[in-house]
Each structure stands twice: as C-alpha cells, then as structure tokens.
Amino acid sequence: MNMDPVFTTLDASRPYFAFKQEMTRIGLYLPKETVIHFSALSRYFNNLLNNPKSDFGRMFWKILAVKNGGIKAYKSKRINFKFKQMMKVFGQIKKKVKVHKVPEWRSYSTCKNCGKRCYPDKFDRWYFDDEYNNYCNCEIVNCESKIATIKRDLEMKKRSINEKKRVLRLQLLRLDDRMEDLVEKEANVNSIHHLEKMKPAFENMKQNAHYKSTRVQAKKALDEMKKFDSWFCRERPNANYKAPLGAGLGAGAGGR
C-alpha cells in the first residue's frame, strides 16, 4: 500500500522522493543525539518525521536507530524506534556524567546568601551539627552548581597533571644534558686505544731523537703508557691482598 503524500505538481514532489530515496544514507551519518529536530530540513519534513502515524517517519527512525544507533531491528510496527533511540542516548549520557566522582573534601562550596561554606548535596554530620556556627545553615542555599563543582575538580586535576608534565619535561631536559655528558666521556675514555698505535713513534723518539731532552721525555711517556696497559688486563695484582696469618711461620718451620 502506497502511503506517500499526494503532491499537486511534480516539482513539489521531488524533494520528498529525493529525501526518501536517500534516507538510508542520511540515517547512517546523522548524529545519534539528534532525535527531535533537524535544522537542515524544512518544517514539512520535520513534521513528517515526527508524526507517529507516518510510515515514512517510522522507517526513517528505524534506519537511524538500527544502522546508526545500534538498536535491535524489531519487526513489529508497534516499536517506537525514535523513543528507543532517545532512551539509549539518555542512558549513555547518564553514564558519562557519572563517570567522575568528586572527593568529599572538594565538594564544598560557598553560599552567597550567608557567605559561609556549604555542602548541600549530601548529609554530613559535621556540617549539620556545626557547633561553632562556621557553616551555612540556609534552608535554600545559593552556591556553585553540582556540575560546576565537577568541572572545577576536573580543571584542578588537569592543572595538577600539567604541572607534573612540566616538571617531567624539565627532568627530561636535565637527563638529556647528562646523557650528552656521558656520551662525551665515553668518547674520551675510548681514546685510550690510540695509545697502542702511538708506542712505535715514541720508541723511535726515545732512540733516535736529536736532543737528549726529547729522548728523556719520550722515555717518560712510554713509562706512563705502560701503566695504562694494566687497564686492559682482567688478571692483575690486588693492592689490598693480605697474606693469611702464619703463612710465613709455616714456611720457616718446614725449612728447618
């Protein structure tokens, strides 16, 4: 059965049928939160979509809910897919706004009526007893809203994280400087390998230099180089070695 509206002219029917033919694609890309009014559509199409008796509207909301909103594709015509989409979005928003819990010690605000600290959203014995009249006792408080308190807490935590990030960046810069210093020291230490290549030249200077002072300096340099030779040895004398007690006496007794 054809439930399409009747148009007086062909030109008047073209927007309707063009929209009808493409509503599957439109339903795929429309935002899920849009469940009442589409500003891009004329009043005619908005009224058509929101008419509970419109088969065209029901089909559109079904496509939007099933293809875009993840709603089960029920076959019954009694299913209000628009309402199911609304309830699903409502449930998602409820979960999102409850995802952050503000600590009690940050949940207080200041009442503009009396200028005192207040905690209106939850019973607290400390605020209720108020032995020293330090807290708000107004029947109706005028203070920061609950959502503003949540946003304030989120902003404070964001600032705290940004400060930690700033400190860590400074630490990273210092670590980079230390790393550059260590790389430079490593390159300097590795220069010890050049000493072995220089020994023949110093030996030649020690033997054949024209001046005696040069030969003496070359000999001293070679003697210093020999000290560095031990740096490559795994086995070497232990400067902290202490002979066991009585080792010398035993050797002497055996000699008699």
> Which of 43, 157, 27 is CA-nearest to residue 103?
157
Lowest mean pLDDT among 60-64, 65-69, 203-207: 65-69
Residues 13, 7 contacting (CB under 8 angstroms): yes
Tens-place pLDDT, residues 34-63 = 555 555 556 666 676 777 677 777 777 777
pLDDT at 8 over 60: yes
Q: What is the pLDDT of residue 45?
A: 67
Token code pair at residue 31: 């935002």
Collapsed DSSP state (helix, strand, coil) of residue 142: coil
Q: Above 60 in pLDDT, residue 252?
A: no
Q: What is the structure's pLDDT at 39?
A: 55
How far is residue 117's CA from residue 136's CA, in Å, rounded to a whole number? Answer: 6
Per-domain boundaries in the chain: 10-97, 192-233
Q: Which residue has the higher pLDDT, 130 or 168?
A: 168
